[in-house]
Homo-oligomer: A and B are copies of this chain.
């Protein structure tokens, strides 16, 4: 267990109770002093919980009592709902202060979540140059490199020496996360090279920047997909990557701390899609913040597509109905055969979809995968068949012919489902579609139909129906 986190959790729980009590008794300053024992991230977490357990008005009073410099940091960490509540409650002067003091990338994040009228109100009071820059940033699509970057970076001249560069950094005095790599541009803002702060610190004072800058750096284009950006961070292990436009002009940098959120988002999206949930709004709203209608809308499409598939499944059964009513006990094994086919297919699909996402599997591996899944299917199918032969004969007391029908069908269904489950994601990927989105509905619908067809075919064969 994480001892410290555990301790902090318990401490915060105690503080929360005290604060809520004091708020009830209107002892606001005492409550504020308790809050100030924590860092900005934790204060924001506490405020969210106070808002939930007490009320938003008291939370806002508490927020306004914070020291100005801390209030900005806390504001950046709050959820967008709470941010909007605060913006609506504070004076324009307070709002201007917060907006002007926010780091640029936090500012963009805040503005993206706010309603248009609030954004306009804020932009009116922003200097023209910054307003233009904000508008540019707000216009980048939500999932591209441009939406992740910050224009706060240190830029150096290639003719400077190390001492001058360090003095320049000192005078700029930036956020820790953006200062560790410095960028060298020519007069047309084209990126020439990068120098890390550690290189500057360990180099002699009179060395020229152009002699220590790295020129075969990795960079992103503003319109690159955030998934590709996070791939590069994972592959190379950098703390920051520069972002350029189509003319190779430096427009911003992306720092690794923002990539952690991207990776979590991308994993969530994949997991949801693989299990039949489509996030239409591409929102970063949590489960509890989404309305029931939005939830229903995200879940219905896949279920409706499967409805269509079930029409065909129904038709297959209807065609076999006459024979089925002669040996009605065959019905009892239908759920098992269809269910096992579905599950075993989705196991294979999961591994391949994940392998594609983490670049461990590639579409060119299709033959290797096929051969592997064929053998896995034979092993898994044989084990399940043997277990079932016992069950059908001994436990259910049915005839060996029926047991044979069930077991041979089981083996064939498992082998088929493993192959189907592994091949569909690869084929979908070849068509440049997202395997997580398409694969599962396709596999579920086909595997049910084929499972039934195989079962009835075996029944006809072994039971002379």
* A residues in contact (CB < 8 Å) with B: 1-5, 39, 41, 166, 169-170, 173-174, 176-177, 179-180, 196-199, 201-202, 216, 218-221, 224-225, 228-239, 256-257, 259-261, 263-264, 267-268, 270-272, 274-277, 286-288, 292-293, 295-296, 299-300, 302-304, 306-307, 310-311, 313-315, 317-318, 321, 324-325, 328-329, 331-336, 338-340, 342-344, 346-347, 349-352, 354-355, 358, 360-361, 365, 368-369, 372, 375-376, 379-380, 383-384, 387-388, 391, 395-396, 444, 448, 452
Contact = CB atoms under 8 A, between A and B. Distances in A.
B295 A346 contact: no
Contact of A350 (B220, B271, B324, B329): B271
A339 B317 CA distance: 15
Nearest to A170: B202
Contacts of A198: 174, 176, 179-180, 197
29 contacts: A2-B221, A2-B232, A4-B221, A4-B224, A5-B224, A170-B201, A177-B237, A180-B197, A180-B239, A259-B260, A271-B350, A275-B347, A276-B347, A277-B351, A287-B352, A288-B360, A288-B372, A296-B379, A299-B376, A303-B340, A307-B340, A310-B339, A311-B391, A321-B328, A321-B329, A325-B328, A331-B331, A335-B452, A339-B448
Sort A-B residue pairs by CB-CB distance and give the 5 closest, nearest first: A286-B360, A2-B228, A237-B257, A310-B336, A275-B350
Contacts of A350: 271-272, 275-277
B368 A288 contact: yes
A383 B303 CA distance: 10
A199 to B, nearest CB: 8
A264 B380 CA distance: 28
Contacts of A174: 198
Contacts of A329: 318, 321
B358 A311 contact: no
Contacts of A180: 176, 180, 197-198, 239
A424 to B, nearest CB: 14
A239 B236 contact: no
A306 B339 contact: yes
A318 B332 contact: yes
A177 B239 contact: yes
A103 to B, nearest CB: 11
Contacts of A379: 292-293, 296
B336 A334 contact: no
